[in-house]
Structure 1
């Protein structure tokens, strides 16, 4: 059962990570994603780069669903990304609805990774 759920969970977590990629397109896309004004070029650059990094993680997770040899690194990278965001948000506190949505999405993404953690891909020689 876990062997069948692992790829599904990886794809689900991959899709969650791909959602912010539209932010690469510019400030208007970032505003619609995060619900606040992008007040400076510095913030826009940081958020657009963040969107690119999520794209990398999302594609890695989806690739890992079909290439079991990538699963360990995909789960490690995505898990660290999502867990660290949750911890930072909880530590800082006082965040609004946009960050709440991201925290919830990251919790769902972490849960989606559980089958891949519990049923790691078989090791292959070569």
Structure 2
């Protein structure tokens, strides 16, 4: 269990860090999400989104190393992925690139739930 929790948090962190490349601009965002952002305001919002993903990713890495950060990391990570998954489900009819994001977020959700369960599931006490 000592290695499982940090491993799950690192996987979730790495997936959260992928969109950080969107900070580089429209072409990076187009590659990530399969959309063209011709509106400068929307580009700014999407780049800011990339920064926010970076912050969640860094928090997840910190939580892998510092157990005291785990409750906040579980909360932030699960809010991040479940909100996106719900929005995608409600909207439906998304493109292939967004479908990949949905798949990645399902992996992140699974990793975070496994780590959370391992962290808080009661462990049997050793018998003498």
**Residue in 1 that maps onto 2:84:** 85
Gaps of 5+ in 2: 121-128
Deviations for 1:41-76, whole angstroms, at most 9, x for unmatched residues? 011011100000000000000110000000010010
Partner of 1:124: none
Question: Residue in 2 aligned with 1:15?
Answer: 14
Q: Secondary structure at the match of 2:119?
A: coil
Gaps of 5+ in 1: 122-126
Q: Which whole-Å deviations, capped at 9, do the CAs of 1:68-124 have from their partners, x for residues lacking one?
A: 000010010010110110011001111111111110000000111123211227xxx
Q: After TM superposition, what 4+ stretches of structure 1 lie above 2 angstroms from structure 2?
A: none
| 8 A contact 1:23–1:29 mirrored in 2 | yes
Count the aligned residue pairs: 120
- Name the TM-score, length of structure 2 as normaliser: 0.89
Cα distance in 2 between the residues matched to 1:36 and 1:88: 17
TM-score (norm 1): 0.91
Larger radius of gyration: 2
Indicate if the aligned counterparts of 2:63 and 2:69 stay in contact, CA closer than 8 A.
yes
C-alpha distance in 2, partners of 1:97/1:115?
27
